[in-house]
């Protein structure tokens, strides 16, 4: 991860935290028959964390595929380094000399 990406993520996290703190009133969250009363700060931060976790999980298969490909390529490079280069073919007749 580059430093620019990390800085963007930190700024985004700071913006979410500031938004959550400014909206600190109590709310009732309902889902089906389930209901809970909590602060809006908690709802916003939990939703942001759940989104980040879901995005990470969705990116995990690609990351695993890239790591496997990288390991396979590293093994192939090591095998190439361990194998001596083929000897140049020996000519059966000497090459002709150019006319003087």
Residue pair 40/24 in contact by the 8 Å Cβ criterion = yes
**Closest Cα to residue 25, out of 49, 42, 11, 8?**
42
Query: The whole model's pTM is what?
Result: 0.61
Sheet strands (E) in 19-86:
26-31, 34-39
72 within 8 A of 79, measured Cβ to Cβ: no
Average pLDDT of span 18-46: 89
Does position 19 have pLDDT exceeding 80, yes or no? yes
Confidence of residue 100 (pLDDT cuts 50, 70, 90): low
* Segment 76-98, tens digit of pLDDT: 999 988 888 777 777 676 667 77
Phi and psi at residue 90, to the nearest 5°:
-90, 130
Looking at residue 58, its pLDDT comes to 95
Helices 3-22, 40-82: axis angle to 10 degrees equals 170
Q: What is the mean pLDDT of residues 2-15?
A: 89
Mean pLDDT of 3-24: 88
Strand-pair partners of 29: 36
**Beta bridge partner(s), residue 38:** 27
41-55 pLDDT, tens per residue?
A: 888 889 989 998 999
Give CA–CA dist 14/9, Å, rounded: 9
């Amino acid at each position: 991860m580059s430093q620019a990406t990390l800085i963007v993520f930190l700024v985004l996290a700071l913006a979410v935290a500031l938004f959550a703190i400014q909206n600190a009133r109590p709310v009732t969250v309902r889902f089906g028959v389930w209901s809970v009363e909590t602060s809006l700060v908690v709802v916003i931060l939990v939703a942001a964390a759940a989104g980040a976790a879901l995005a990470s999980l969705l990116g995990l298969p690609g990351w695993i595929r890239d790591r496997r490909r990288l390991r396979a390529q590293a093994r192939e490079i090591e095998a190439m380094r361990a194998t001596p280069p083929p000897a140049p073919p020996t000519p059966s007749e000497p090459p002709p000399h150019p006319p003087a």
